[in-house]
Structure 1
Amino acid sequence: MEPSELRRAVEAGRATASELGLRADDAIVVHDSDRVALRLLPCDVLARVAPSGQLADSEFEVEVARRLAAVDAPVAELEPRVEPRVHVRDAFAVSLWTYYEPVGPEIAPADYADVFLRHHAALRRVDLDAPHFTDRVAAALREVNDRDRSPELPDPDREFLSGTLAGLSAAIGVDEAEDQLLHGEPHPGNLLNTRRGPLFVDLATCCRGPVEFDLAHAPEDVGKHCAGADQDLIHRCRALNWAMFSAWRWRRDDHMPDRDHWRVEGLDRVRAALDRCGPGRT
């Protein structure tokens, strides 16, 4: 967020917690992008604060968390001392979560695969209306194909990303028989090693699709521990995921830190991932 918007977001998170009876004298920014995550002290609560235009996404995330907690999924939980809902304050949507102190070393591939499989088993027990992963691809395509939304994207890269997104989405989404509810972005940044064990966070990306779509976000060795996973499909999904990542970085209003680096790096990752897909690629 821009500095002025960030200051307002921090105050919205702190004030919301205070009004709900949680002492929030201080706020530490844990993550700052299109929305921010704040550690509020001394109540030790995590506040997720998004512009009110993302209210529906925030409400969806809270509902996903509530449903998954009911089936003991390995996910971060909502703050138990307040009602599980999204609060709107000063044009921001605020949700309150349990804060987990990260512990221990990097999660080993076998342990990552174990929590991944347990999470997907829990997701299969949840009845939730969620978008298909191809809806997310379509949103990325709109950013790429609209020059007003991505004015700095060079035309050759625009054509490359557009063709990659459309082609891979059609190839991967052709058979929906094995689709299930997914996390959507279970990459290492969204898996915390806590005293309770590994827990997935950032549940707003929940969608439907093949399990391989989720596996493509995890470190490569994780998929080798998941029996029955289609390795070729994982390669195609990884290329698609990098293409979507790149599309978001070229948005006019993207606020990811070090965005210029990731604009170049993202395109390089797409090409490298496509090379691993072999002949025909899509």
Structure 2
Amino acid sequence: MEPLELRRAVEAGRATALELGLEVDDVVVVQNSDRVALRLVPCEVLARVAPSGHLVGSEFEVEVARRLTDVGAPVAELDPRVDPRVQVRDAFVISLWTYYEPVGSEIAPADYADALLRHHAALRQIDLDAPHFTDRVAGALSAVIDREQSPELPDADREFLGDTLSGLSAVFGVERAGDQLLHGEPHPGNLLNTRRGPLFIDLATCCRGPIEFDLAHAPEEVAQHYAGADHDLIRRCRAANWALFSAWRWRRDDHLPDRGHWRVEWLNRVRAALDRCGLG
């Protein structure tokens, strides 16, 4: 968020917590992107604040968290002192979560895989209406094809990304028998190392697909510790991920910091990933 919007978001998070009876003497910005994460002190709440256009996604995330907490999934929990719902204030939507003090050590690949295995097992215990991950691919393809959505995308890269996304979508659409609910983006930035062990956050990305789609977001060593994973499928999913990330960076309304760098970097990673799975 830009500085003015960030100040409004911080005040919305603070005012909402105070109104709900939580003690807030200070606010620390933990993350600033299209939505912000705020640590509220001393009540030790993590407030996730987003523009009102994120209402549906925020409500979905809260529902996913509530259901997964009930079945003991390794996920960050909503704050138990307030109702488990999204608050609306000053054109922002706010959800309140337990704040977990991070542990400094890096999560070992075996522990990462164990957390993902337990998370997938918990997801199989809940019933939730979630999109298939190929819907995400279709949305990215639409942004690539539509020049109004991606006016700065060079023609050669537009053709390359379009062919990649449409080709991979066709491959993934053939077989869905093994699909299940997934985290959707369990990359290292969405797995906290806490005193309770590794906990997943950012649950709004929950979708359906093969477990290999989740494994493709994790460091490559993690899949070696995940029993039964299809490593060829992981490589194809990783290529799809880089193509998705690249397509999103070319959208006219994308505001990721340093997106010029990531536009080039992720196009290069798409090409490398395709070469690794023999689709270059």
Counterparts of residues 86-97 of structure 1 (less than 5 Å)? 86-97=86-97
2:197 aligned with 1:177, yes or no? Answer: no
1:104, CA displacement in angstroms?
3.3
**Rounded Cα–Cα distance in structure 1 between residues aligned with 2:187 and 2:50:** 21
**Rounded Cα–Cα distance in structure 1 between residues aligned with 2:131 and 2:197:** 29
1:56 matched residue in structure 2: 56
Which letter does structure 2 place at the counterpart of 1:229?
Answer: A
Where 2:46 maps in the other structure, the secondary structure is: strand
**Rounded Cα–Cα distance in structure 2 between residues aligned with 1:12 and 1:144:** 35
1:170, CA displacement in angstroms?
1.6
2:42 aligned with 1:32, yes or no? Answer: no
2:140 matched residue in structure 1: 140
1:160 matched residue in structure 2: 160
Counterparts of residues 1-282 of structure 1 (less than 5 Å)? 1-278=1-278, 280=279
1:217, CA displacement in angstroms?
0.3
Greater mean deviation of Cα atoms: 3-12 or 233-242: 3-12
Q: Deviations over 1:203-243 (max 9, x none)?
A: 00000000000000000011111121111000000000011
Greater mean deviation of Cα atoms: 53-62 or 222-231: 222-231
Check conservation: 1:173, 1:209, Cα contact below 8 A. no
Greater mean deviation of Cα atoms: 177-186 or 156-165: 156-165
1:25, CA displacement in angstroms?
2.7
Where 1:27 maps in the other structure, the secondary structure is: strand
Identity %, equivalent residues: 80
CA RMSD of aligned residues (A): 1.0
**Rounded Cα–Cα distance in structure 2 between residues aligned with 1:246 and 1:202:** 20
Where 1:131 maps in the other structure, the secondary structure is: coil
Check conservation: 1:183, 1:206, Cα contact below 8 A. yes
Q: Deviations over 1:134-172 (max 9, x none)?
A: 111111112212222211111111111111111112202
**Rounded Cα–Cα distance in structure 2 between residues aligned with 1:78 and 1:165:** 36
Where 1:169 maps in the other structure, the secondary structure is: helix
**Rounded Cα–Cα distance in structure 1 between residues aligned with 2:22 and 2:230:** 47
**Rounded Cα–Cα distance in structure 2 between residues aligned with 1:130 and 1:4:** 34
1:252, CA displacement in angstroms?
1.6
**Rounded Cα–Cα distance in structure 1 between residues aligned with 2:25 and 2:110:** 41
Unaligned runs of 5+ in 2: none
